[in-house]
């Protein structure tokens, strides 16, 4: 059984090695694969722990656990006796899948190629070939993926057969072999796990294969579906948007509008659908109807490209309807919005160049929610990232973001490991300070105990030797008690004295000595069996006492070794690990600087493109605004002239009528000279 500290340090070694491998492969660009789902009875708890980490999407921890178990398994003398054998194939496959989560395509590919070269059953070889093809496809190498798929012979495991066929169809589409892709995808229709995706790719393949009518029918059937799952509904909306755009570009305006109308107003494709629906009506000359979806789109978030485009489209439609004053008002509003957004983009670019964008990516608040990109916009003190969501539509930029965040995660893990090494050193110091004062006294007691054990062992050995002799030949004197042995010795000395001094000897004295000797011999002879039995029992008791002393001795030895091993011999290992982690940290700093620089450059380029686009819109809006004012003034002048003409005509008509009635209204005045007689 390993000591806890030793086990922790032992497991740290493959982690650092795996960390170095992951750093080599982080810049690769492709997708990630999930762990293979191979149900079965769990035989090895450590493998189960690794799979638990994988299913929790803690891929790095899962890689570390699996790599450690695989290394230990390969170093065993008899690995077939280890329960990990039952999961060996799945573990090797799972490592490859998990490495794809860190874009480690080269490592995953080499691992699977090693399986292909091994002596494995054909179904396992086929699955390995499928996984290798998937890696090559994610690396955007369709020819290599097709070569890997052609290595499949015979039966493919049923649980990966639909995925293998779907992958083969996508590879064919990448290579322009659309008819073959159509054939494969038609066989996959009805596969529950790929429902929707098969129909979408089938429709695209049919369109690319110039089977337009059939492709439109296939995509139309898919677009009519509805789902409560946001991901599936987004697929259906994307299908309708694709069909609407395709028909609009083909000039089929009446057929295109229903597809745009099917797109949900709250989905991710709703803005483009509203813009497309308006352009369908505008191209048909129905500008009043185009204003309905465009005005809905105009009120949405202004950072969206479709919204910015429609801010010019709405006044354009009003201009076509000869409502130039409203068009001028909308152009003015667009100019104000474009100017504000240009200032925002300029501030965003400056903020990114100051490093605030990368700082926001490293914030812990962003890691606490699943949709961390959206959360960046709500972080306090974060730089202006209003255009980040549109930028995230670029797959390469997503990969750079993931790489940077993974590098930052590895950097923080290394910092945690450095803290752990410092904690280990503190534990070692504490143990050394505790045990070293105690060990001299313990060693002294140990020596005393060892002496006692040696004495008891010697006594036991002599006693056991005598008993063995007595079992062969009777030796009563060996069983004499202490007083009896003393009496025998005194009788022996008396005989010696009588032999040296014959004058002291007499018949009576010798008779008395002989009588005493006889009494002792009689007692020993008659009690021999009982005393031998008691001696054997005493031997067993002595053995038990020695066993107890031996247990204490062994316990002390283990405790002494554990105490010593708990703080001796770790300094070199810890120093080596610390140096290795520090070197890795330096490498991480360099990689993060490169990745961050690329990330910032792509972000700045994208934001500058959006700013240039807005500036172009701004110029168009200025000219259109001036034109709208001119047209509005011209129309106003025309109306004023028309009003004046109408008023003049009305006034002229009234004057003529008044002139004809004047002689009749004043006849006396006209006839007065004749009646007055004054002339």
| pLDDT tens digits, one per residue of 482-519 | 787 788 788 888 888 877 777 776 778 888 888 888 88
Residue closest to 243 by CA, chosen among 282, 287, 213: 213
Question: pLDDT band at 579, cuts 50/70/90?
Answer: very high
User: Which residues have a Cβ under 8 Å from the Cβ of 304 and sit 6 or more positions away?
Assistant: 271, 390
Mean pLDDT of 644-666: 58
Q: Can you give the length of the chain in residues? A: 679
Range from 16-30, 43-57, 121-135, 444-458 carrying the lowest mean pLDDT? 16-30
Q: Report d(CA 452, CA 456) in Å as an integer.
A: 6
Triad 206, 212, 216: Cα angle to 5°: 85
Judge contact between 84 and 69, C-beta under 8 A.
yes
Residue 614 is predicted with a pLDDT of 92
Does residue 150 or residue 235 have the better pLDDT? 235
DSSP 565-587: HTTSS-HHHHHHHHHHHHHHHHH
pLDDT for the residue numbered 389: 66
Q: Give yes or no for a contact between 139 and 123, defined as CB atoms under 8 angstroms apart.
A: no
Judge contact between 262 and 226, C-beta under 8 A: no
Residue 410 falls in which region: left (phi positive, over 0), alpha (psi -120 to 50) or beta: alpha
* Model confidence band, residue 303 (pLDDT cutoffs 50, 70, 90): confident
Nearest to 460 by CA among 547, 533, 390, 528: 547
Q: Which is it for the CA torsion 247, 252, 255, 258, positive or negative?
A: positive
Q: How many CB atoms lie within 10 A of CB 555?
A: 10
Q: Mean pLDDT highest for which of 219-228, 435-444, 456-465?
A: 219-228
Q: What is the pLDDT of residue 613?
A: 92
Give percent above pLDDT 90 in the chain.
Answer: 22
Burial class (CB in 10 A: 0-12, 13-18, 19+), 440: exposed
Q: What is the pLDDT of residues 181-222, one digit of tens each?
A: 999 999 888 888 888 999 999 999 999 999 999 999 999 999
pLDDT at 663 over 60: no
> Where are the alpha helices (H) located in 250-323, listed in sequence order?
253-262, 270-283, 287-298, 305-320
Among 426, 440, 416, residue whose Cα is nearest residue 571: 426
- Residue pair 386/340 in contact (Cβ under 8 Å)? The answer is no
Q: What whole-number percentage of the chain has pLDDT above 70?
A: 79
What does the radius of gyration of the chain's CA atoms come to, in whole angstroms?
Answer: 50
- Contact between 522 and 488 under an 8 Å Cβ cutoff? The reply is no
Q: How confident is the model at residue 295 (pLDDT cuts 50, 70, 90)?
A: very high
pTM (2 d.p.): 0.64
Higher-confidence position of 563 and 307: 307
pLDDT tens readout for residues 594-611: 988 888 888 888 888 889
Number of other residues whose CB lies within 10 A of the CB of residue 601:
13
Q: How many helices (H) and strands (E) does the chain have?
A: 27, 0
- DSSP-based three-state secondary structure for 328: helix
- DSSP annotation string for 317-384: HHHHTT-HHHHHHHHHHHHHHHHHHHHHHHHHHHHHHTTHHHHHHT-HHHHTSS-HHHHHTTSTT---
| pLDDT (0 to 100) of residue 176 | 92
CB atoms within 10 A of CB 275: 21
* Residue (of 211, 279, 268, 210) closest to 244 by Cα position: 279
| Residue listed under structure tokens 């000279």 | 673
- Return the closest-CA partner of residue 299 out of 279, 268, 291, 288: 291
CA-to-CA distance for 69 and 110, rounded, in angstroms?
A: 19
Sign of CA dihedral 589, 595, 599, 605: positive
- Cα dihedral 273, 278, 284, 289, rounded to 10, equals 130
The yes-or-no verdict on residue 318 having pLDDT over 80 is yes
Question: Dihedrals φ, ψ of 37, to 5°?
Answer: -95, 100
Cα–Cα distance for residue pair 432/438, rounded to 1 Å: 10
């Amino acid at each position: 059984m390993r000591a806890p500290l030793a086990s922790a340090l032992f497991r740290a070694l493959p982690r650092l090695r795996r960390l170095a491998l992951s750093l080599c492969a982080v810049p690769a660009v492709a997708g990630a694969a999930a762990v293979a789902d191979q149900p079965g009875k769990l035989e090895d708890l450590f493998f189960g722990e690794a799979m638990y980490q994988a299913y929790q999407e803690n891929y790095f921890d899962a890689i570390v656990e699996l790599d450690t178990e695989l290394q230990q398994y390969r170093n065993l003398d008899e690995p077939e006796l280890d329960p990990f054998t039952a999961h060996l194939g799945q573990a090797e496959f799972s490592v490859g899948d998990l490495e794809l989560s860190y874009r480690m395509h080269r490592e995953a590919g080499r691992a699977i190629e090693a399986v292909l070269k091994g002596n494995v059953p054909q179904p396992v070889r086929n699955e390995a070939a499928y996984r290798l093809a998937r890696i090559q496809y994610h690396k955007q190498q369709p020819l290599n993926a097709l070569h890997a798929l052609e290595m499949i012979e015979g039966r493919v495991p049923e649980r990966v057969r639909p995925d293998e066929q779907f992958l083969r169809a996508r590879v064919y589409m990448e290579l322009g072999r659309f008819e073959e892709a159509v054939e494969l995808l038609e066989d996959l229709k009805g596969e529950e796990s790929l429902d929707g995706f098969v129909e979408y790719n089938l429709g695209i393949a049919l369109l690319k294969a110039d089977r337009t009518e059939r492709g439109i029918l296939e995509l139309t059937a898919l677009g009519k579906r509805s789902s409560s799952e946001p991901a599936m509904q987004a697929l259906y909306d994307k299908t309708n948007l694709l069909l609407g755009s395709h028909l609009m570009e083909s000039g089929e305006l009446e057929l295109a509008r229903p597809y745009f109308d099917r797109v949900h107003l709250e989905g991710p494709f709703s803005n483009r659908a509203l813009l497309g629906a308006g352009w369908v009506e505008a191209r048909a000359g129905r500008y009043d109807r185009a204003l309905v979806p465009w005005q809905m789109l105009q009120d949405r978030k202004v950072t969206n490209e479709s919204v910015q485009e429609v801010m010019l489209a709405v006044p354009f439609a009003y201009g076509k309807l000869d409502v130039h004053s409203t068009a001028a008002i909308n152009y003015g509003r667009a100019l104000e919005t474009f100017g504000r957004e240009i200032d925002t983009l300029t501030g965003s670019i400056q903020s990114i160049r100051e490093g605030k964008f990368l700082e926001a990516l490293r914030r812990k608040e962003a890691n606490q929610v699943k949709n961390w990109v959206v959360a960046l916009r709500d972080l306090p003190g974060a730089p202006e990232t209003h255009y980040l969501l549109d930028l995230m539509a670029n797959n390469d930029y997503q990969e750079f973001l993931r790489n940077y965040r993974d590098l930052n995660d590895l950097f923080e893990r290394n910092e945690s490991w450095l803290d752990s090494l410092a904690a280990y050193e503190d534990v070692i110091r504490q143990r050394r300070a505790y045990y070293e004062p105690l060990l001299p006294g313990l060693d002294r007691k140990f020596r005393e105990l060892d002496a006692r054990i040696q004495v008891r062992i010697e006594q036991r050995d002599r006693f056991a030797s005598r008993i063995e002799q007595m079992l062969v030949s009777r030796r009563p004197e060996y069983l004499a008690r202490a007083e009896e042995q003393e009496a025998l010795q005194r009788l022996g000395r008396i005989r010696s004295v009588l032999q040296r001094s014959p004058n002291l000897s007499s018949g009576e004295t010798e008779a008395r000595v002989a009588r005493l000797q006889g009494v002792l011999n009689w007692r020993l002879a008659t009690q021999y069996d009982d005393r031998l039995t008691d001696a054997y029992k005493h031997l067993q008791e002595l053995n038990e006492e020695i066993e107890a002393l031996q247990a204490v001795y062994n316990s002390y030895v283990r405790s002494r070794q554990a105490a010593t091993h708990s703080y001796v011999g770790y300094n070199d290992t810890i120093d080596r690990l610390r140096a290795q982690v520090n070197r890795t940290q330096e490498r991480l700093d360099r990689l993060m600087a490169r990745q961050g620089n690329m990330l910032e450059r792509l972000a700045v380029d994208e934001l500058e493109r959006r700013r240039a686009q807005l500036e172009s819109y701004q110029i168009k809006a200025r000219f259109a605004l001036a034109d709208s004012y001119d047209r509005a003034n011209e129309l106003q002048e025309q109306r004023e002239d028309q009003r004046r003409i109408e008023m003049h005509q009305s006034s002229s008509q009234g004057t003529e009528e008044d002139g004809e009635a004047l002689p009749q209204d004043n006849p006396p005045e006209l006839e007065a000279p004749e009646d007055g007689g004054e002339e």
